Structure 1
């Protein structure tokens, strides 16, 4: 079995109080989740390491995730958060980049009403600091933000961008024309990669291999085998399927559409993109 790196996992403790999007209305995931809650299924699927991705727009949560990484060799890295609107954003990014385990930053742009927010000139110094330090820009996903990521990638060609969840294609309604066009345009930017993650929660009842495979095939055609990486999006995933179910489906689809490059999708692409500049190490779980 291929050793796997889950490039998109969340954990949270509700009592921390800064998960503003996580309300009782999301009853399936409105509780505490830790790595151990996923690990039986993850380990059985061959997952040895994970990258923890921020779920709160706060520096305190980033510190929380970094503390978990310091104590748990399963955590290969942390994608954190920085207040881009602060005058000291660039300095904060430079400071954060020196911290062990921090591998990327994710502004929660999909929670904002203005899709062009990240393109404001005032954020250029922060983005340049990310480029200079090798921190990855994780692209918080929404279909109308794919084109924004293309603009961002062209403005900052030295910035490594990883689009989350393949841009959240509207699988459930089947209206994929704009998504296909926008993904194709984004993939022309060599500094952009994408995660195969978060697809089942966009699919409604269309979670079969044919429907999800249609997405995977287009991603494979556009990005090729060197700029695609796998993630679970656990525990958000549990609103649609188990960790084991998504891992098994991914095994089938990655074997079909990335034949001969399975190890790249499961592990080595994420290790290269996130860990080379940070000096991160893959521990044995």
Structure 2
């Protein structure tokens, strides 16, 4: 079984996605039914919907959208990793009223805002509140920002973190050493996990198993199978691959693990981290 911890769905009639205008390849509806049909062929049995950086006024509406999907007969959707604004005074009221039967975690896209946003006392205080509420925080930052991620997780030791997309490595540029050093440092923090998700998007398009193997091997050697979760990053993975290719590549990249370790990466760790 595979638990997809990073599924994006897009419904432009219901929600507003300002960033899609600058991403023509992705600028269409990406429906649950389309995903579910493909997922069923690959052993994906469960999924968390990852927020899609909707307009701020639509954050609650996106949660309602996910709640509706969860009610579909035979739905794969187990909850939402919701957008939020931890840099805002409105965060605490949001956290107090959010539907915890739907919202299983939180993410704030941090590579589209100034670097200092995640370093402010208010942001860190609110991320600390997530830990006390039992909600993990997904970090999405560029590789150059990983020292900021390290500062954030050190400031919030009671919060569980998940580093998306293996820390967004510059695979196309071959910038392995600085990325690897930061991954090693982050792995020393036991409350940090890492997500093997959609890294084909950072290859520039020409990738093979051999291209990906050193990067994934470093993630495995530093974090270990007990702190890695799997995600499709669908449909962003379609920039330089597709969902079946990424699933197949993931099986190959994890082939040297034991059956128990692969099961932990593909579904067991996700159930533990997000309490599902």
Q: What TM-score bracket applies, with the shorter chain setting the length? A: over 0.9
Larger mean CA deviation between 242-251 and 13-22 belongs to 13-22
Query: What TM-score, normalized to structure 1?
Result: 0.90
- Please state if 1:36 is matched with 2:33: yes
Which residue pairs with 2:42 in the alignment?
Answer: 45
Gaps (5+ residues) in structure 1?
A: 281-285
Question: Residue 20 of structure 2: which of 15, 19, 22 is its match?
Answer: 22
Q: How does 1:51-70 map to 2 (within 5 A)?
A: 51-57=48-54, 58=56, 59=59, 60-70=61-71
On the 8 A contact 2:198/2:246 being kept in 1, the answer is no
C-alpha displacement at 1:17, in angstroms?
4.8
CA separation in 2, counterparts of 1:169 and 1:125?
28
CA separation in 2, counterparts of 1:120 and 1:85?
8
Question: Residue 84 of structure 1: which of 62, 83, 86 is its match?
Answer: 86
Which residue pairs with 1:6 in the alignment?
Answer: 4
Gaps (5+ residues) in structure 2?
A: none
Which residue pairs with 1:108 in the alignment?
Answer: 109
Larger mean CA deviation between 215-224 and 202-211 belongs to 202-211
Question: Residue 77 of structure 2: which of 71, 75, 78 is its match?
Answer: 75
Work out which structure has the larger RCO, using CA pairs closer than 8 Å and 6 or more positions apart in sequence: 1
CA separation in 2, counterparts of 1:194 and 1:44?
26
On the 8 A contact 1:143/1:169 being kept in 2, the answer is yes
On the 8 A contact 1:216/1:257 being kept in 2, the answer is no
CA separation in 1, counterparts of 2:258 and 2:197?
15
Larger mean CA deviation between 72-81 and 207-216 belongs to 72-81
CA separation in 2, counterparts of 1:132 and 1:218?
31
C-alpha displacement at 1:259, in angstroms?
5.9
CA separation in 1, counterparts of 2:203 and 2:17?
24
Number of matched pairs: 271
Q: How does 1:38-187 map to 2 (within 5 A)?
A: 38-57=35-54, 58=56, 59=59, 60-71=61-72, 73-96=75-98, 98-112=99-113, 114-187=114-187
CA separation in 1, counterparts of 2:264 and 2:41?
19
CA separation in 2, counterparts of 1:257 and 1:188?
21
RMSD, aligned α-carbons = 1.7
On the 8 A contact 1:220/1:258 being kept in 2, the answer is no
CA separation in 1, counterparts of 2:238 and 2:223?
27
3-state SS in 2 of match to 1:226? helix
